[in-house]
Amino acid sequence: MSPSATSLAKGNNAGYFAIFRGVWRMNVGLFAELTAHDLALIAKHGAKRSYLKGTIVLSEGDESDCFYVINEGRVKVYASDDQGKEVILSLEGPGEYFGELALIDQNPRSASVVTLEDTCLTVVCRAEVEKCLSEYPQLAFKMMRPLVRRIRFLTRNVKNLALLDVYGRVARTLINLAREENGIGVIEQRLTHQDIANMVGASREMVSRIMKDLAVGGYIKIGKNRVIEIPGKLPLGY
């Protein structure tokens, strides 16, 4: 799909999706070790694009060689199987980016991206990045180290997946999504129980039961606009 496109978006695979999502959510993307100056060297070669809420920016299976930096707005990154079952890999906001792996392997997109609100992106394609790396070869080494960490993380995630039940996956997801604020974990993304279910490869009913029990037990608090607070450590078992 062209970067300027503005069309509107109208069981057994749980393990695969959980592994896939775990790798995607790690804060060790291809550019994790680049400084603000490094990123500016790359981003200056890009072009800004504006997308309406509900626009499909990338579709799974697309041929594309660009990556995207979010200037304003929010997007959802997700994958689906042949039966149309969807899993949310991440929710990204300003300052974050997606699609960077296409700069290296030249394979079709492994996930889809849709805007959750009106969004402004900077689009940078492979030719511009290659030109930048030829001018600043030290950037290439900074980009390789995070890829090695992704492989190590994938190994650990396969182990965790084999050992964790649905509660364990929900708890780990909540912890990964939370940011610390005055000693309390806070998840500001407006997540539905179906969103969480799609993230962990479980049914909405099971997730709703777990979230209710955590709230009744005082382990989480659901605030205004579905903001989730985690006052302390979540229980080890369910």
How does pLDDT run across 32-65, given as a tens digit for each residue?
Answer: 787 878 877 787 778 899 999 999 999 998 888 8
Structure tokens at 193: 């129980």
The pLDDT, as a whole number, for residue 76 is 92
- Residue 93, classed as helix, strand or coil, is coil
- How many angstroms separate the CA atoms of 201 and 11, rounded? 8
Q: Give 221's strand partners.
A: 229
Domain extents in the chain: 14-160, 165-230
Q: How far apart are CA 136 and CA 132, in angstroms?
A: 6
The CATH classification of domain 14-160, taken from the options 3.40.50.620, 2.60.120.10, 3.30.413.10, 2.60.120.650: 2.60.120.10
Per-residue pLDDT in tens (0 to 9) along the chain, 238 residues? 333 322 222 233 444 344 334 333 434 367 778 787 887 778 777 889 999 999 999 999 888 889 898 989 999 999 887 777 788 888 888 878 888 877 777 788 888 999 999 999 989 888 888 888 888 888 888 887 777 776 776 676 666 666 678 898 899 889 888 988 888 999 988 888 998 888 887 899 999 999 999 999 999 998 877 899 999 888 867 6
pLDDT tens per residue, range 166-189: 898 899 889 888 988 888 999 988
- CB-based burial of residue 34 (10 Å sphere; 0-12 exposed, 13-18 middle, 19+ buried)? middle
User: Checking DSSP bridges between strand 97-98 and strand 228-230, what pairing results, if any?
Assistant: unpaired
Mean pLDDT in the chain?
Answer: 79
What lies within 8 Å, CB to CB, of 50 at 6+ separation is 118, 119, 120, 121
Task: List CB contacts of 173: < 8 A, sequence separation 6 or more.
Answer: 196, 199, 200
* Composition of the chain by helix, strand, coil, percent to 5: 40, 25, 35
Q: What is the pTM of this model?
A: 0.57
From the options 1.10.10.10, 3.40.50.150, 3.40.600.10, 3.40.50.720, give the CATH code of 165-230: 1.10.10.10
In 3D space, the residue among 216, 179, 173, 164 whose CA is nearest the CA of residue 193 turns out to be 173
Q: Above pLDDT 70, what percent of the chain? A: 82
Separation between Cα atoms, residue 223 and residue 213, nearest integer Å: 16
- Contacts of residue 195, Cβ cutoff 8 Å, sequence gap at least 6: 88
214 and 220 Cβ atoms separated by less than 8 Å = yes
Tokens of 163: 């050992």
Query: Which two structure tokens, joined as six digits, stand for 196?
Result: 């969480």
Any idea what DSSP says for residue 220? -
